[in-house]
Amino acid sequence: MSVTIKEIAKLANVSRGTVDKVINNRPGVKEETKKRIEAIITELNYQPNFIGKTLVNSKSPIKIGIILTPDYNPFIQTILSGIRKAEKEFSPFGIRIITKMMTTLEAAELVSILGELESMQVSGIALFPIDDEQVILKANQLIKKGIAILTWNSRLESIHGFRHVGQDNVKAGRIAAGLMEKLLPEGGDICVITSSQNLSCHQNRLAGFKERLAECKHPINILDVRENQDKREEAFKISLEYCNLYPSMKGIYLTSSGCDGAVNALSIVNRLDDTKLICHDLLPETERLLKENVLDFVLSQSAKKQGYQLVKELFDYLIKSQVPRSDFYEIPVEIITKDLLSE
């Protein structure tokens, strides 16, 4: 039998309004009282009754917009699988998901998509933000108009959304550098391929990577850093150029997509066996390269789970009126090797 707010209030010896504040994470409740109410809620497995709201929404669904980067990045297909899983689970409760996919990583296109979603009267948006003044301005304007903004993957403190879903990318970069040090215990020269200077996730990975390299016992020197906009063919070209320019290169760190392009380039010039490779995101391509022993480590951010969480966070906030207890839902950094893969 389900418990009600009235019953919780009676057990906690407080008003129903006080219980409601705790459930929705609103201020105005003493910490001792809050902990007592939370303990009762946990013990009795209280679940908010949002069936009434669901019945209303079924006639006029709440619209949620999700903005994705271009689908030439295979990471996006895995994100989409998580979004579709969540859509199947939550759409019966009165939400409609509108997915918009950028064709470039240009700020002007992203601002245009935000305007399009605004005209469609969405109640919330999961935004992959580009670090650009116009994007920041538009996102904050939508927030002031009452549209819930959730950022994901790349975090921008200047966008005042209610929640961010993603990794601590500085930590991820530091982990990558620690792994590179293990691969090159005597030090050496390496190169980096990153996606775009306008995406904070990649810049933060690179910042963490450089920070950790400075702590290495034997120097690991970054010879060059170039952008590939998450494109496989650009990673191929850049890797070939690195091989031509830097015969001393012993490793490549990719903060971006396109690892298979880099592998193909190294293979063509017979540098695959003596070049260490670390990249991000466990995808069909990177899983295959791990199994073939040409990729050393992959740092995973659980793309399918991340896609699912985007919808769940907006559902909880808009339908269940649950305000998150922190502004950051952190996706753990997973180090993947061949031995961790199932056959």
160 and 125 in a single domain? The answer is yes
What ranges make up the beta strands (E) of the chain?
Answer: 62-68, 95-101, 124-127, 148-152, 163-166, 188-194, 220-227, 249-254, 276-280, 297-300, 328-330, 334-336
* Domain contains 129: yes
139 and 286 in a single domain? The answer is no
The pLDDT assigned to 21 comes to 84
178 and 230 in a single domain? The answer is yes
The pLDDT assigned to 58 comes to 53
* Domain contains 280: yes
* Domain contains 246: yes
181 and 110 in a single domain? The answer is no
pTM of the complete model: 0.83
* Domain contains 289: yes
Domain extent, residue 134, equals: 59-167+303-331
Say if residue 104 is exposed, middle or buried (CB neighbours under 10 Å; 0-12, 13-18, 19+): exposed
104 and 11 in a single domain? The answer is no
The whole-number average pLDDT for the span 253-262 is 95
Percent of the chain residues past pLDDT 70, beyond the cut: 95
The amino acid present at 130, given as its one-letter code, is I
The whole-number average pLDDT for the span 234-254 is 98
143 and 67 in a single domain? The answer is yes
161 and 272 in a single domain? The answer is no
Give the model confidence (pLDDT) of 55-64 as tens digits: 445 567 889 9
> Which one-letter DSSP state was computed for residue 338?
G
The pLDDT assigned to 157 comes to 93
Retrieve residue 90's tokens: 């939550």
In the chain, the number of structural domains is 3
187 and 149 in a single domain? The answer is no
175 and 278 in a single domain? The answer is yes
The whole-number average pLDDT for the span 267-283 is 96
Given a cut of 60, whether residue 228 has pLDDT beyond it is yes
132 and 193 in a single domain? The answer is no
Give the model confidence (pLDDT) of 45-96 as tens digits: 776 665 555 544 556 788 999 999 998 888 999 999 999 999 998 888 888 9
The whole-number average pLDDT for the span 22-47 is 84
Give the model confidence (pLDDT) of 130-170 as tens digits: 999 999 999 999 999 999 999 999 999 999 999 999 999 99
The pLDDT assigned to 293 comes to 92
| Of the candidates 144, 95, 135, the residue with the CA atom closest to the CA atom of residue 115 | 135
* Domain contains 53: no
* Domain contains 339: no
Retrieve residue 317's tokens: 């906030």
**Across all residues in the chain, what is the average pLDDT?**
92
The pLDDT assigned to 55 comes to 47
Given a cut of 60, whether residue 106 has pLDDT beyond it is yes
182 and 294 in a single domain? The answer is yes
| Of the candidates 291, 217, 229, 221, the residue with the CA atom closest to the CA atom of residue 254 | 229
CATH number of the domain enclosing 174 = 3.40.50.2300
- Element housing 209 (H / E): helix 200-213
* Domain contains 296: yes
Contact status, residue 223 vs residue 249, Cβ threshold 8 Å: yes
Higher pLDDT, 189 or 73: 189
159 and 195 in a single domain? The answer is no
* Domain contains 284: yes
The pLDDT assigned to 2 comes to 67
Look-up of token digits 């791990």 = 290
